[in-house]
Each structure stands twice: as C-alpha cells, then as structure tokens.
Amino acid sequence: MNHICAVCRQPQSARRHLTYVYTACGLANAILNNVEVRTCGCGDAVVIPDVDGLHQAIAAALLMTAGPLNPAEIAYLRKFVDGLVAGDVDITPPIQLRCDAGRWHTVD
C-alpha cells in the first residue's frame, strides 16, 4: 500500500525495525519490537496504530515490575493511570510531587 506523508505530501516508503526506543512516552526504556517506519523527504515516522493501548500496556508492565520504580516511571504512572496516588506506588506525597514535576533530585 502506498502511503503519503501528512507533512510534505510526498510518497513514503515503509520498512520494519526490529526494535525502536519509544521516548515519546517520557521513558528511556520503552522498547517496541517489530515496528513499521515510514520514510519520506522530511524524515522518518514510526507507525503506532493504538497509542492509547500502548500506553496502557506500558503502565501495566510498570505496575507488575518487581522492585522499585524510578522517578520517571512513577511520573508516567501518575499521568496514565487514573486515580493513582502516592501510596499506591509506596512513595510520600512530597516525592510524588517532585516526580510529577521532574524534580526528583531535590533534597529536603
């Protein structure tokens, strides 16, 4: 199937990548397998057909993680899991606020 770029309106070629680091979610360690990448004159675009489903899957994986979550993971969960509070991830409210604001290196 031929695809047209939404930005430059030129044809795109498609190929598969075995792995892709999905940093758009705010996490440095979200790795997607076998993703489609479309290329045209203005660059590459990764095709993610169900972004909401992907974000739910990432949240579910984080919630099943054994061991402590890092601050970026806590902030991610707070953003994508409705009603999640500090006690749900075993942190104090002040630390929760720092994670949400991206200031987790602050010391009292």
- Mean local confidence (pLDDT), 61-70: 84
**For position 107, what pLDDT does the model report?**
43
Q: For 28-63, b where at least 16 C-beta lie within 10 A, e where not — what string?
A: eebeeeebeebebeeeebeebeeeeebbeebbeebe
Task: Report the pLDDT value the prediction gives residue 106, as an integer from 0 to 100.
Answer: 42
Asked whether 45 and 94 are in contact (CB, 8 A), the reply is no
Per-domain residue ranges of the chain:
3-47, 51-101
Quote the tokens at residue 105: 């290196």
Interior angle at CA 57, CA 99 and CA 43, nearest 5: 85
In this prediction the pTM is 0.69
Contact 41, 13 (CB under 8 A): no
